[in-house]
Structure 1
Amino acid sequence: MPPSATFKSAGPVYVEPVMTTKRASCVIGIDVGGTNTDSVILQNNKVLAWHKTPTTTDIQEGVEQAIEAVVAKAKLPSNRVDSVKIGTTQFVNAVLEQDSTKLDKVAVVRLCGPYSRSSSPFVDFPPRLRDLMEGHYGYVDGGFQVDGTPILPVNHEQLKEQAAVIKSKSITSVVVIGIYSPSNPAQEEEARKVLSSELGPDCDISCSHAIGQLGFLERENASILNASLRRFARHVIDGFSYAVQKLGRCKLYITLNDGTLSKASTAAEYPVRCFSSGPTNSARGAALLAKAERASASDEREVLVVDVGGTTTDICALLKTGYPRQSAAFVKIAGVRTNFTIPDVHSIALGGGSIIRIKSARTSVGPDSVGSRLDKEGIAFGGQTLTATDLVFENKYTENQVTPGTKASGLAEITRVLEEAIDLVKTKQGDARVILVGGGSIIIADHIAGVGEIIRPQYLAVANAVGAAIAKVSGTVDTTVVPGAKTIDQEIEAAKALATKRCVTAGGNKATIEVVEVDVVPISYVTNGATRLVVRVVGDLVDGYEENHDEPSEEEQRFKDSSKSPRASRDSATGVPSKGSSYEVTEQVDISAYRPRIEGDFWYLSELDIQFLQDGTGVLGVGSCGEPYPAYVACLQALRNGESITIRRQDTFPETGVVLVAGFMGSPSVYLERIPGLDEVADAMKSVMEASGLSTFDCTIPNEIGGMNAFEALLAAHRFGKSTLDTDLVARAYPKIWQTVRCLKDIPVAPAAVSNGAGKTEIFKTTRDNLEAEDLMRDACTEQGNLSGMCVSPIYGTEARTLPRNSFSHAWTIGRSIALSRSLKLDPVTSILKSEHGVLLFTGKIISVTRHVAEGFTRGSVLLSSISDTPSSSSSTTSLLVDFENENLSAILKEDGKEDQLLAICPDLITFLDKANGAPLGISDYKYGLRVSVIALRAPPVWATERGLEMGGPRAFGLEEEYRSVSTGEFEEAKSVWEIFGGGS
């Protein structure tokens, strides 16, 4: 604190008490932040002493100083400290800084059989990180299907061959990843033992099931980051251990992303689990410190934690368990898409060190900050830089240099920025309760719009260290089950029991264990009831616990076996949660000046083009069709190998031309785990060609333009040396094979084929009608593991010209609009609505999602609560109810005291967009607290005809409402890139 300072208008100054209790079982919590290193001593969850000091360049030295200072303040003998729990950003910073001295090259061994070979490891890494980390990758027989049956047994000879290559390249960090290993890690563990035997004890071998959740490429990416960091992590942990050893027989633990603990030796093996522990520690500490001031259980007001540091402010919603809500989407760390659990934190550039500027009578706050240099550069400390802290201190320095007008305008701007951020995070109507913590919280006023109560707990400056000190042990199960001998409810109970066992094995006290998460997600497009279960439990640490590594017990193995079907049966240190599929401009590209490469009737795709298509096909997918990321990576790989992927102009396609429909059918969630190989679609296409008497073809098209199938059609054409025609069969997405413009005219789906890419193909030369074709193909797909390459009856030139116009061009235009808006810092949603003549139905936060599977399709609804552009304490309730059956079907507005109002209904396109960046969301992304904009686009006129409404309108999905178009104007067909940019005939 500066000399002769008095605190003004932002809450009391807390004077730490001197406490001299002699009782044992004390714990030290430490949080090593970018600005400060904080430490506390707790006994029975009571703070005995605390200390805050600027973070030192030598982290070990800083931790030693923090321990020494806080023990001295508590006036305790050092041997009274039972454990030290540390939260650190060291590991994620090494990745963010792309430090070659801290990152090792990695070899990846996939247990995949014929699958995943179209999307190689490392492809989507930022170039610098890829250069630092890519060492080798190889494919080995193995993996599981969604129902738990093996794709192939693990091939030991192939593993030994991979080991020989790895050894020849002098790589000592290895990742083993198997398809569906989070549901059953047995094959990964088997492969680890073989590789360990071949490579020797000096080789680090990481198994992916210990790193991430379902989502093959994302789990692999997280595992690569983890493996690359292991050597450095051991160095850091050794330093922490040395700092702690002065306390005697004191145990060291490291805090994890989910607010739980890991023994130091385990954290050294899994540093990626610690990436985002800081925000979680703050939330957990805030919950404890404010416990006495928290409202009763009957108080339904939302509780937010606002942690104001020196540089940034983190805001998150606090669950009733005292843990922060976890992120619902894929997360990018340093540009790498991953799927490990981190807290859902909204960060803004606001802190005690934020630099204040006054220009043209307008006051700005940040985004830059003096950070840990505040006590040297801030005006209140005798420096020359005006900071947010200077606005709330009064001393001889601030009196002379900070005018009352500057203070007033600066504090008003701070309040405005914070109010907007809080309004984004809130998930309930009405005023929230805010727990305000962090050393920079002195800059926050006592009144915030949309907040009914502000709690400034004692020791708020070190809430992050308190959260570290109270961290518990966890146990998690993430698996896919198929009802058979057990019901889903019984499977949930079995998962809880296994999660509890894992928690106890990790050191948890069984008497204190509580369930903090149960997530039940039916898998769409499957007919056997396959369901993903995620269960997480936490418990207090057992005194004197020492970690062990026993083999899986018979009980645990039985649970793994039960999931098999018997055929009856932050921008910096923390990373910023973001929709992983969304396109982000990572290089300085002038999108407004970009032109696609058009040569005659052919459009040669670039990396930027497929990035546009990734978002555009997501919008047209209306919530379904699956995340296109694996196919996007495969396309990216082909382009980076110098190969061409082309789209052919539709209106000049020759009358004698032949088009094959190429894509996948099955579950989008299976698609993200059992990544396609090279042959699924190709084998189906070859079978249809044979049945149709064709020896060749000219182009492919997707069955629907939405999501993954658009990309799979591009890949299929590329592998045959052909092009994809600029059209599709739907102009949006529908769940049934017969919901196409061809079937409106009763053109047969057969001959059709589905293939698993592993030598099994089912062909249907004729069927009674298209409904029977759907049933037969869907059943065959389920038998093939709920994901199959698909091809239906060929299309010839004249018909191809009559299909929906310029489908890929349309998707590209939408994606370009989103990317251009992002690059110009504009609202992508507004841009889409303008370019597509769409309608904004609702802006809100998801407050509930219900799902169930019927006839192989995921049905359910999502309820959204409104959020306003300006903070409001209005108690009126406005919500939107959206029903879906794989795709979004209807949107109904609900307001207090008013009749429900139908805003949009199929066949019009209803799409959810991430409010932060405009990225399209699928129904698998819908989770509590997600902030979205819901838009509607008009369907092509063919779907508004009597026949079109019969097959794709409300009645086709059992809805009672009548169709009413969201637009009264003329429908405008999408223009092709040839029309927009010229070129061609």
Structure 2
Amino acid sequence: MTQRNLRIGIDVGGTNTDGVILDPTRSSEPDRGIIAWHKASTTANPSLGINNALTAMFNSSQIDPKEVASVTIGTTHFINAVVEQDEARLAKVAVVRLCGPFSRGVPPCVDWPKKLRELLCAYFCFVDGGLEVDGSLISEINEEQIRKEAEVIKEKGIRSVVVNGVFSPVDVLYQQEEKAAAIIKQVIPEADVVVSKDVANLGFLERENAAILNASILPFARKTIDSFQSAISRLSLQCPVFITQNDGTILLASAASKLPIRTFSSGPTNSMRGAAFLTQNEIKEAMMVVDIGGTTTDVGLLLANGFPRQAAAFSEVSGVRTNFSYPDVRSIGLGGGSIVRPRADGSLTIGPDSVGYQLPEKAVVFGGQVHTATDYTVLGNEKLEIGDRSLVVKAGLEKNFSGFQAVVKKMLERAIDTMKTSADDIPVLLVGGGAVIAPNELTGASKVVKPEFSGVANAIGAATARVSGVVDTVESTESKSASHVMEEVSKRAIKKAVDNGAKADTVQVVEMDHLPLQYIANKSRFIIKAVGDFDFSRNVRDQSTIPPSSEAAIDDMEEYQKKSSESKQNNISNDESSNLPDFDIQTYKPKFEGREWIISDTDLQWITIGCYILGTGGGGSPYQYMLRLRELMRKGSVVRVISPDDLKDEDLVACGGGKGSPTVGSEKLAGDEMMEAQTELYKYMGVKPDAVIALEIGGGNGLQGLILGGSSNMNIPCVDGDWMGRAYPVAWQTTPVVFETKPVFLPSTICDGNGNVMFMTKARSELMVERAFRAALSQMGSHVGCAKGPITGANTKSWVVEHTISLSWRIGRAVALSRSLNSIDTVAESIINEVGGEESAKVLWKGKITGVERTLRMGHVYGEVIIENVDMTGTGDPGDIATGKKLKIPFKNENILTIEVSEDGHEEIIASVPDLICVIDAQNGEAIGTPEYRYGLLVIVLGITASEKWTSTARGLEIGGPKGFGMDDVVYKPIGVFKKPISVIDEYAPK
């Protein structure tokens, strides 16, 4: 019997289809066991390209198909269908949410691009179900409810359905999503039903979005994978067929046809895994892989475990936020076809535009007229057998050659430095067809390696991919140590890898993450990934799902391609213009009715950006609250903002906000708990408020006053101000507590949105109120809405931090304007101009995060972030390390201090609370919250002088300054002079 040893890898790209046959038992030999390889143009029907590649490799190698153990394919076809918004390849989707009373203000697809939403999102409904963070029930699922909704979906002719339950990834006991899916299949047997927890992990909206994209592409995925398998069966290959995933591991083709979204970004991952295979005998540490193509260069960090570093938080696919596993790859406009242009000062620019696939026609080396990176590369290397070098010499490119080399070197060094996790040098691997344009030495690289066969590294990565098992769960650490829980979860991940087909004795844990949850005692999130080699001894015949009629599958694919081509022709329009702003940011004026500011969509976008920056690292992302408020406004609610100066002394000003863990808030989207808390409070008091104010302007709570005021239940204006002027970890750190020693917010109410309400009518201090409510949090789902007792108009005018909605608006406008003018490199200076100028604010630091530590104490996440000082160029990219200094920022949910650390270790505090310490992303000007701090991020640290409401009294500094965070030995020194924010109402309201 012929022994099955050989692996075939194929990568079907948009331009080329690459193939390789290798023998893994010979991987240590000089040729790495590569028996044959092939690179050719991708065909309209990908199965034909695969067939051509396989045929060419078999003919050149004369191997017996019976020797082949597996065929693994990487493809961009599925993500291309979404990116191209191809109606012929995308199905309409219905969404069934198991959410009980939660998330209804933020419906499915609410944040999608309009065209894609209309194309895919056909129906949604909310039904009983969902879990709390600890795994207890929000409510049981209701079979009759689900059956009724399934009948509606069937009536509408929708055959792709997503079931998404709150905290479903931690549901191991009730199996709510699976039970709901089974009920839907009973009503619609032919339906494709996707349960969200099979697709992605914690993060409700992002997981749902990923599941919808996955469901929409299922019919096309089946056809595509059938055609792949048919091409393979035509060559008498009887072996398992795999599809590569985004994280560098594999899925059986039968499984990939159910989860095609997991293949969306397998191209860059395959290249990185292939690079690791080619250098396995030389490099045993983390390395940077630089994949240079015809148009772009993709740079990613390959960890010491042999897998790419994954992107943090969320990633976007065609404008849709998702949270499925995705490699952290940075792309720059540098490739073999990049156009090179001289500047007036004698320097050069390279890209980002490229001649792309027209390189053989347009490049000078081939007789064209366009100066490309390939032309300069051929000029500098006589050994390269590309085109006619004499044509390049005649074109006179030599005078700019040294400049070309310098620009390429700098572009690559900057991209590599952006992706590094420390200042230490790191091995750099160059792969891809355009790797010849790169120099042999790069600053920041311990060595530069251009391995043989690097041109087909993507196919090699596919051939050598492994099987994984991932567990992302929230677990209790009350009776067990975190290390013990980590060990237990690791065993589950290993078992999952084995269940997915891995050979048990080859499985290893390659990634472990432990994230304590804020405001939740003894609860942590654990993320474990295990990988191993596929076990070919197990039911190989069952693993192969090659269709019996290969010709029928290919004919089906031909019909799909025909419909797809027609769809693309019908979709040709000027749709891009709809994404352009229909106003000039610099001349935009907000809308007013008298002195009431009527908030628009544009105002809301800018206020949201500003709120997160003013959150000083805490407060949680305002994103979901922005979506909720935008939905209210689009359904007719009028959101009004008034100046505190316009309050009457006898007015009652309500206040509300959320308490709890941002992790819970990102999964259990708010229901009516905020409004219910207000309703219960004012029913108890027997009065009605005249206006509402945000508890804190920083983070998600910065929008709560606008949401409450704009809701039909209250319909009152929101005051342009708040009680903090920023975000603080606890609700007693407010200006009313500074000016009044007795409790000022009583009675107060919290509500969990699921039928539980708690009142505090009497207390000795606001600190006691805070402690009582925090103690109740874990029993009320770890996230509640809070209604604070009202403050009179007279006291509001005395205690308020004024015009902070105006300030958020101005900060957000500055960021938006910087983006529109392509001047993000000066966004920090633009923000400073809006918060009072250089006397009131300053850039404290520019650099790269190189260290993050976190721990959980008393429900708050304490930690420290280290930022190395780097020289930023006008593009926001880091250049060389400017000094040996570092910045250290301790945080307790929010940033507390900035400490400059000199080369000799001397520490000096350069800013502290109550001044605002804001960390923003140097690439886009957006805020970076403390939960999002991670290695390698380029950041700018801003210091903004705090309101005199905090700094003018000893009590204010005691509550809101370093002493309020237990740092009694730190003396507050203001970074500047506070200037009251300019009121949008005073500036723009009609006189």
TM over 0.5: same fold? yes
Q: Any idea what the Cα deviations from partners look like across 1:297-323, whole Å, max 9, x if unmatched?
A: 6xxxx6311110111101112211121
The change in CA–CA distance for 1:170 and 1:194 in structure 2 (over 3 A counts) is same
Task: Give the Cα separation in 1 of the matches to 2:231 and 2:391.
Answer: 39
How far apart, in 1, do the equivalents of 2:957 and 2:277 lie? 56
Amino acid at match of 1:983: A
Residue type matched to 1:979 in 2?
D
Q: String of CA shifts for 1:19-58, please: whole Å, max 9, x gaps.
A: xxx9741111122223322211121143222222222333
Q: Is 2:124 the counterpart of 1:137?
A: yes
| Identical pairs, percent | 39
Residue pair 1:55, 1:372 contacting (<8 A) in 2 also: no
Say if 1:50 and 1:587 are closer, same or farther in 2 by CA, change over 3 A.
farther
The alpha-carbon distance between structure 1 residues 235 and 965, as it changes in their structure 2 partners (threshold 3 A), is farther
* Aligned match for 2:142, one of 141, 151, 155: 155
1:681 match: 674
1:792 is paired with a residue whose SS is strand
Q: Is there any run of 5+ residues in structure 1 with no aligned partner, and where?
A: 1-21, 550-583
Secondary structure at 1:714's aligned position in 2?
helix
Do 1:365 and 1:413's aligned partners in 2 also have CA atoms closer than 8 Å?
A: yes
Provide the residue aligned with 1:750 in structure 2: 746
Q: Does 1:727 align with 2:721?
A: yes
Question: Which residue in 1 is equivalent to 2:348?
Answer: 363
Specify the alignment match of 1:847 in structure 2. Answer: 850
Q: C-alpha separation between the residues in 2 aligned to 1:731 and 1:830?
A: 20
Partner of 1:290: 279
4+ residue segments displaced more than 6 Å: 870-876
Who is 1:350 aligned against? 334
Q: Is 1:947 aligned with 2:946?
A: no
Match for 2:301: what amino acid? A
- Which residue of 1 is the match for residue 510 of structure 2? 516
Deviation string, structure 1 residues 234-275 (Cα, Å, up to 9, x no partner): 121112111221242022111111111111121111111111
The equivalences for 1:747-826 within 5 A come to 747-748=742-743, 749-802=745-798, 803-826=800-823
- Match of 2:801, SS state, is coil
Is 1:192 the counterpart of 2:181? The answer is yes
Q: Is the 8 A contact 1:173 1:228 kept in 2?
A: yes
What is the rounded CA distance, in whole Å, between the counterparts of 2:35 and 2:581 in structure 1?
50
Residues 137, 129 of structure 1: alpha-carbon distance in 2 compared, 3 angstrom cutoff: same
What residue in structure 1 maps to residue 618 of structure 2? 624
Aligned: 1:268 with 2:257: yes
Mean Cα deviation higher: 65-74 or 853-862: 65-74
Q: Do the aligned partners of residues 479 and 587 (structure 1) sit closer, same or farther apart at CA in structure 2, a change above 3 Å counting?
A: farther
Matched with 1:469 is: 463
Counterpart CA distance in 2 for 1:230 and 1:410 is: 46
Please tell me whether the aligned partners of residues 188 and 207 of structure 1 are also in contact (alpha carbons under 8 angstroms): yes
The alpha-carbon distance between structure 1 residues 481 and 820, as it changes in their structure 2 partners (threshold 3 A), is same
Name which of 893, 897, 902 aligns with 2:900.
893
> Whole-Å Cα distance in 2 between the matches of residues 247 and 380 of structure 1?
43
- What does 1:344-493 correspond to in 2, within 5 Å? 344-360=328-344, 361-393=346-378, 395=388, 396-493=390-487
SS at match of 1:759: coil
Q: CA, structure 1 residues 370+72, in 2 after alignment: closer, same or farther (shift >3 Å)?
A: farther
Q: 2:982 & 2:930 partners in 1: Cα distance?
A: 29
Question: How far 1:544 moved relative to its partner?
Answer: 4.4
Post-superposition offset of 1:359: 4.9
Deviates more, 1:495-504 or 1:478-487: 478-487
Does the Cα contact within 8 Å between 2:658 and 2:783 map onto a contact in 1?
yes
How many Å apart are 1:644 and its aligned residue? Answer: 2.0
Mapped to 1, the partners of 2:982 and 2:57 lie a distance apart of: 68
Structure 2 match to 1:210: 198
Is 1:180–1:214's contact at 8 Å kept on the other side of the alignment? Answer: yes
Write out per-residue CA displacement over residues 543-562 of structure 1, whole angstroms, 9 at most, x where no aligned residue.
1445999xxxxxxxxxxxxx
Shift of 1:77: 2.1
Q: 1:329 & 1:30 partners in 2: Cα distance?
A: 30
SS in 2 for 1:793: strand
Cα distance, 1:82–1:376 mapped onto 2, change above 3 Å: farther
Q: What is the aligned partner in structure 2 of residue 703 from structure 1?
A: 695
Alignment of 1:552-701 (within 5 A): 587=581, 589-677=583-671, 679-694=672-687, 696-701=688-693
Q: Deviations over 1:550-598 (max 9, x none)?
A: xxxxxxxxxxxxxxxxxxxxxxxxxxxxxxxxxx986465322222112
Shift of 1:367: 1.4
1:39 aligns with 2:19: yes
The one-character-per-residue Cα deviations of 1:469-498 (angstroms, maximum 9, x if unpaired) are 111111111111122443332221121111
| Equivalence for 1:16 | none
**How large is the Cα RMSD of the aligned pairs?**
2.1
Of residues 216, 225, 231 in structure 2, which corresponds to 1:237?
225
Bigger Cα displacement from structure 2, 143-152 vs 67-76: 67-76
Distance 1:544 1:83 in 2: 12
Structure 1 residues 195 and 439 mapped into 2: Cα distance closer, same or farther (>3 Å)? same
Give CA-to-partner distance per residue, 1:647-697, whole Å, 9 cap, x none.
2222112223221101111111111100011x2012211222234331x22
Alignment partner, residue 944 of structure 2: 937
Tell me which residue corresponds to 1:114. 101
| Structure 2: stretches of 5+ with no match in the other structure | 28-32, 380-387, 544-577
TM-score by length of 2: 0.90
Q: Deviations over 1:366-386 (max 9, x none)?
A: 212222232333332333433
The aligned residue for residue 923 of structure 1 is: 930
| 3-state SS, counterpart of residue 291 of structure 1 | coil
CA gap 1:874/1:887 in 2 versus in 1, 3 angstroms: closer
Cα deviation, residue 877, structure 1: 4.2
Q: Which amino acid counterpart does residue 790 of structure 2 have in structure 1?
A: P
Q: Could you tell me which residue of structure 2 aligns to residue 833 of structure 1?
A: 832
Residues 681 and 546 of structure 1, relative CA distance in 2, 3 Å threshold: farther
Which deviates the most, 716-725 or 332-341?
716-725
Aligned length: 919
Q: After the TM superposition, which of the residue ranges 113-122 and 404-413 deviates more from structure 2? A: 404-413
Distance (Å, rounded) in 1 between the aligned partners of 2:636 and 2:805: 22
Paired residue secondary structure (2:96): strand
After superposition, the Cα gap between the structure-2 partners of 1:359 and 1:952, relative to the gap in structure 1 and judged at 3 Å, is closer
Paired residue secondary structure (2:248): coil
Cα 1:609–1:199 change in 2 (3 A) is same
Superposed displacement of residue 938, structure 1: 1.3
Tell me which amino acid in the other structure corresponds to 1:279.
P
- SS at 2:232 equivalent: helix
